[in-house]
Structure 1
Amino acid sequence: MTAPRPPDTDLPFLRGYAEPLLAQVRGLIDTGRLGDYLAKRYPNRHQIQSDKALHAYVDDLRQRYLRRSQRPDRICYDSKLDVLHNALGLNTRQARVHGGRLQTRREIRIASLFRDTAPEFLDMIVVHELAHLRELEHNKAFYQLCEHMLPGYGQLEFDLRLWLTWQALSPDT
């Protein structure tokens, strides 16, 4: 008989979820079916591979849902973002004094591991970072905006966390 696992310690990407749900995830992992579940649910891969294509894609979504928000100066994939510390995307602002004026530069960086994921996962990360243009904190208004831009956002966020868990457990990644 094996000792019970302490809650949340074995599933770092799923911290905060209810224990019955975590038990289901552990069951999928223990039976080796988590990868199959994800492959069946998300069989496709997106074609947005370059920073230029990513910039056009993000700007199109921004135009559709956040027209009045400031356009980010730079949008790119970033291989230095640390997934283990939950940095899947990054939205930064830099304010600098230039002459007598204050200039703000905005950047959106998406972890480069999203170059080879399901389009739904890229959508989720992009929507999350775009929502930060309007809402800085992860509050109720932030998640309502995410859900408005991408219906089913909450499920996609959970499934992305499942995918990250599966990636962390896979020996070939």
Structure 2
Amino acid sequence: MQVENADYGAPYIHRRTVRFGETDAAAIVYTVRFFDYALDAIDAWYADVLTLSLYSLNVEHGISCPFVHAGIDFQSALRPGDELAVTVLVQALGRSSLTFRILGARADGTPSFSGTFTVVFVDGAAMRSIPIPEPIAERIREYRQRCPAEGDEGGGLPAKAGAVAP
């Protein structure tokens, strides 16, 4: 398994625009969509930072990364047209687990949501946890070193940006 060289912002920020179809009758983002925003950002982080998409890990390498924990706290509502920046931080790196700290904020820096999400690296055929492959673990450690320490996010958006979603 090869992790390619990558030029990525740290912390990684995934940007998107909130669409009308993502809202409920109150004209604010429907609660479950926040999980979509977080998972989209994590998926983009794998592709852009690790240079291995969740799909390629599964199909080409036989490694699945199922979520074993997902939790979100809400700070402020989002409405159609809001520009959303979702910051992906690595909170913990275990033998086979990886915990993300996700921070969602509007373009003006107003926090909208935060959460923690944990995946476990699993042999797809045996459905048993495996150690995180060393090339991946090494990139994750490098990424953590380039990011602010936990609690240094300041509640707003970090200065550097990662990939921008259309």
TM-score normalised to structure 1 length: 0.30
More helix by share: 1
State the TM-score, normalized to the length of structure 2.
0.31
**Rg larger in structure:** 1
Looking at secondary structure, tell me which structure has more strand per residue.
2
Which one scores higher on RCO, CA 8 angstroms, separation ≥ 6? 2
